[in-house]
């Protein structure tokens, strides 16, 4: 019989999506697909579908602390991620718990605004992420608008992207992945700036679809899973990129708006 807790285990600290396409739902599906067992600390609950976020509420801090304690008391988490954290108070609760427990390397997905325009993190929350959470992360995975907010600059081309990545790394993130999917160009360029200061680009052709709900959650969760399985950072990122690309190409016809990805491609 294999040892208790020898199976790769992950943790997602984020918000739910009642529509099933993003947030903790996308995280757990992705982690399962990638071969890891996933646990979850729910920070916020959203009322949401493919048309947008209709409402959300962050949970009572006591219940959040208790979820962290429950997970720590039973599992051996090898890698974790954060997603939607709602506001400064909740970012701080997460920071305190990540300092208290060892959940392995942290992938920070700095979720700010949903595709439909809903603000999933307050302005104060962005500052708390910049000041307190970024420095705990092994990898941060902003899209272009998020990188612009974090680095306080405008990104118009690849040079700007590299400059922003360097600024974000200076805030304390060990590795930086800036996802280029929000740029206007037909070719998507994702930038990776590694701990050793080297960088590389991951190019892909834009897929013509509005069904891209939860892409950020999916790539960060695939990376977390591979880290839990023992990959180095570069291999985990390359795996995550391939995984999300396949999922975008195989979207399914669910809902009337920004539908979910197909994780079963
Ligand atoms: N809802 C939750 C709970 C999320 O965590 C996220 C993204 O991380 C979203 C919605 C937004 O997803 P998208 O921008 O892909 O629509």
Sheet containing 199-205: order of strands: 52-58, 37-49, 9-15, 77-82, 106-108, 139-140, 175-178, 187-193, 199-205
Taking the CA of residue 217 as reference, the ligand 1 atom at the shortest distance is 8
> Three-class SS of residue 265?
coil
**Per-residue pLDDT tens for 237-262?**
999 999 999 988 887 888 998 888 87
Ligand 1 centroid–CA 1 distance in Å is 40
Ligand 1 centroid–CA 182 distance in Å is 14
Q: Are 216 and 111 in contact (CB under 8 A)?
A: yes
Who wins on pLDDT, 263 or 168?
A: 168
151 dihedral zone (left: phi>0; alpha: psi -120 to 50; beta): alpha
Taking the CA of residue 44 as reference, the ligand 1 atom at the shortest distance is 3
**Residue in this structure with the two tokens 């200061």, named with its chain if needed:** 197
Tokens of 101: 């427990």
Whole-angstrom Cα distance, residue 207 to residue 248? 7
Q: Are 145 and 113 in contact (CB under 8 A)?
A: yes
Ligand 1 centroid–CA 114 distance in Å is 5
CATH of 9-138+216-249, one of 2.40.50.180, 3.40.1190.20, 3.40.50.10790, 3.40.50.720: 3.40.1190.20
pLDDT at 63 over 70: yes
- Give the start-to-end residue ranges of the domains of the chain: 9-138+216-249
Q: Is the dihedral of CA 111, 92, 72, 228 positive or negative?
A: positive
Ligand 1 centroid–CA 190 distance in Å is 19
Q: Which residues have C-beta atoms less than 6 Å from ligand 1? A: 14-15, 17, 22-23, 46, 48, 83-84, 111, 114-115, 120, 213-217, 258
Average pLDDT of span 178-188: 82
Q: Are 125 and 90 in contact (CB under 8 A)?
A: yes
Q: What is the pLDDT of residue 115?
A: 83
Relative to beta strand 199-205, strand 106-108 is unpaired
Among 84, 85, 260, the mutation site with the greatest number of ligand 1 atoms within 8 A of its Cβ is: 84
Ligand 1 centroid–CA 6 distance in Å is 31
Q: What is the pLDDT of residue 135?
A: 98
pLDDT band at 264 (very low <50, low <70, confident <90, very high): low
pLDDT band at 212 (very low <50, low <70, confident <90, very high): confident
Share of the chain above pLDDT 90, in %: 83
């Amino acid at each position: 019989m294999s040892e208790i807790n020898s199976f790769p285990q992950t943790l997602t600290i984020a918000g739910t999506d009642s529509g099933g396409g993003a947030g903790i739902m996308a995280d757990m599906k992705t982690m399962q697909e990638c071969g890891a067992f996933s646990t979850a600390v729910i920070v916020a609950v959203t009322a949401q579908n493919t048309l947008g976020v209709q409402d959300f509420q962050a949970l009572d801090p006591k219940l959040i602390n208790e979820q962290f304690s429950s997970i720590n008391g039973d599992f051996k988490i090898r890698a974790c991620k954060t997603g939607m954290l709602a506001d400064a108070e909740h970012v701080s609760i997460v920071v305190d718990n990540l300092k208290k427990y060892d959940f392995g390397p942290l992938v920070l997905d700095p979720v700010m605004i949903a595709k439909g325009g809903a603000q999933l993190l307050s302005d104060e929350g962005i500052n708390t992420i910049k000041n307190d959470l970024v420095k705990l992360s092994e990898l941060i995975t902003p899209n272009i608008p998020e990188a612009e907010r974090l680095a306080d600059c405008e990104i118009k081309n690849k040079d700007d992207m590299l400059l922003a990545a360097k600024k974000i790394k200076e805030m304390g993130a060990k590795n930086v992945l800036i996802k280029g999917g929000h740029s206007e160009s037909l070719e998507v360029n994702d930038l990776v700036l590694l701990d050793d200061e080297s960088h590389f680009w991951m190019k892909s052709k834009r897929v013509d679809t509005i069904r891209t709900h939860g892409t950020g959650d999916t790539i960060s969760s695939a990376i977390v899973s591979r880290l839990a399985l023992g990959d180095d950072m570069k291999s985990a990122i390359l795996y995550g990129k391939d995984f999300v690309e396949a999922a975008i190409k195989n979207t399914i016809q669910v809902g009337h708006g920004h539908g979910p990805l197909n994780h079963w491609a």
